[in-house]
Amino acid sequence: MGFAGSGSDLRRELVDLVLAGTKTATAGLMVEMELDEETVPFPGMREAVIDADGRFVAEIETTECRVLRMADVDDAFARDEGEGFTDAADWRVAHERFFGSYLEELRTRMGDPDWALDDDTLIVCQRFRLVERYP
């Protein structure tokens, strides 16, 4: 499982939250998973957690995964992301900012210069548990 770009401060922060047990959910764009030909997580699926230095530091197991419209992400999921979001509106502002930071790249990859984030944008909402930490 990668978070927000190799070597970034954000990735360090997110991995630390996973290791502390604070972050038990994560979200991604369905369109991006399709472009990357990634498997949508499913209950029981295990993934490596890779830190900002490229080290395998833990293993997580998906406990639930739902594909929701951006408008349908709920407060409980927002809080489970462990990043201090108070509700779904707070979550949405932060995620629109993050996804928007590479929107032009997505549009290019999709071949759709007009694609935009909106209420109907599909979000992969994954809940997980920390299975094991590695030194």
> For the chain, which residues make up each domain, given as ranges?
9-133
CA distances from 122 to 28, 40, 54, 72, 129 (A): 9, 12, 29, 9, 23
Class of domain 9-133: alpha beta
Considering the entire predicted model, what is its pTM? 0.92
Instruction: Provide the 3-class DSSP secondary structure of residue 27.
Output: strand
Q: Which long-range contacts (C-beta less than 8 Å, at least 24 apart) are formed by 31-38?
A: 31/106, 31/110, 31/115, 31/121, 31/122, 32/106, 33/124, 35/106, 35/109, 35/110
The predicted pLDDT at position 52 comes to 86
Reported as a single tens digit per residue, the pLDDT across 12-48 is 999 999 999 999 999 999 999 999 999 999 999 999 9
Average pLDDT over residues 70-89: 97
pLDDT at 7 over 60: no
User: Minimal CA–CA distance to 25: which of 126, 130, 134?
Assistant: 126
